[in-house]
Homo-oligomer: A and B are copies of this chain.
Amino acid sequence: MNEKAFQDYWQQNQCWGCGNNEHGLHIKSYWDVDESICVWQPNTYHMAGPAGFLNGGIIATIIDCHSICTAIANEYRIERRDLDSKPLIWCVTASLKLHYLLPTPVDKPLTLKAKVKEKEKKKTLINCSLISNKLETVKAEVLAVRVNPDKWYK
């Protein structure tokens, strides 16, 4: 994975989870054939109530960001366009459904894998899994909706 991440092409993105944000999590997503991959290392203070486990909200954040960035990258792919070509394509989250299957350790690198499950007009349904230590700890479904970026990036 030496190529640039999806997020590296979208310099206007200031998202706390995946954008140019000095206080943010800075996740990075890449295509791996027909799914997208993100490897990320939490900070130990991103804990749930008991120490040692990753906070459920941080999990929601990285799944949301990785999935929405995958939906955006998929729109560019469908249009056979480079990720930094104009006009900008943007998607937002309509819904986020997470099933926490197992506690996720906070001190290990995590892998997110996302895949487009359905695509219909402006909507993209993404399936995303969080994997820690070879175990799927969270399973998620994210509904992304393509929006007019001019209304968001003023």
CB of A19 within 8 A of chain B?
yes
B100:A49 contact, CB within 8 angstroms: no
Residues of B within 8 A of A94 (CB): 99-100
Contact (Cβ within 8 A) A49 B99: no
Number of interface residues of A (CB under 8 A): 45
Q: Are A49 and B96 in contact (CB under 8 A)?
A: no
Identify which of residues 1-41 in chain A touch chain B, using a CB-to-CB cut-off of 8 Å.
Answer: 10, 12-19, 21-24
Tell me the number of copies of this protein: 2
Shortest Cβ distance from A96 into chain B, in angstroms? 5
Residues of chain B lying within 8 A (CB to CB) of residue A24: 45
- Check if A83 is an interface residue, CB within 8 A of chain B: no
Please, how many angstroms separate the alpha-carbon atoms of A22 and B23 in the complex? 14
Q: Are A14 and B49 in contact (CB under 8 A)?
A: yes
A55 within 8 Å of B (CB atoms): yes
Residues of A within 8 A of B (CB): 10, 12-19, 21-24, 43, 45-51, 53, 55-58, 60-62, 64-65, 90, 92-100, 103, 152-154
